[in-house]
Amino acid sequence: MSIKDISTTDLRRMKKTEGLVFQGCGGDLQEWVDGINDMLTESKVLLDGKRFSDVYRFENNGLTCLLFPFNPDVKFDTGKLAMWRLSTHSQFGGTWLSDYVSNELGGYLGERVKPDCALIGENGNIFHLAGKAAQTLKQNGMRMEAREMLDKVMSSGSYDEALGVIGDYVNITDGSESEDFDEGQGMSL
């Protein structure tokens, strides 16, 4: 049994993997792994004497998290696992890996879709625009991208460069669904 350290970027590359993520794991991580395995065994979720053996540890938003990936070596009752996860969510913050990646990390790499953000006609102060774009990213489950975008905006060398950074993260719109923004027309912010 081993606990391997991975990054959130590694998680975003695990599109073909599913698993169970536990958030806010403090103290001895091996005790967490043993305890979760014991609970799943007692609840008759794990079958044939199998246990999760390869577990990953990662940090996100100041929390230590554990990923118990589903692999062919671990046999479990999927329905019982889903019910167990729901009944223990308030204790362990357990969620499926795919939900965690989508909701906390902005999705899997290569899947990023820029959300629409109505900035045309807004106050042209770059800090206002960046804040509005960051809010849009967060509302779309892209917290990491919001932080990354704000860092790049703050370190940019000009207004135009900062505006370009914002445009790399969101589709700048005027808020109407019927009109498409034509980059060739320029924009009045």
Which stretches of the chain score pLDDT less than 50?
A: 178-189
What pLDDT was estimated at residue 179? 40
Give the closest residue to 6 by CA, choosing from 55, 51, 53.
55
What pLDDT was estimated at residue 174? 87
Q: What is the pLDDT of residues 90-129, one digit of tens each?
A: 998 899 999 999 888 888 877 567 889 999 989 889 999 9
What lies within 8 Å, CB to CB, of 98 at 6+ separation is 18
* Strand duo 95-96 + 171-173: pairing: unpaired
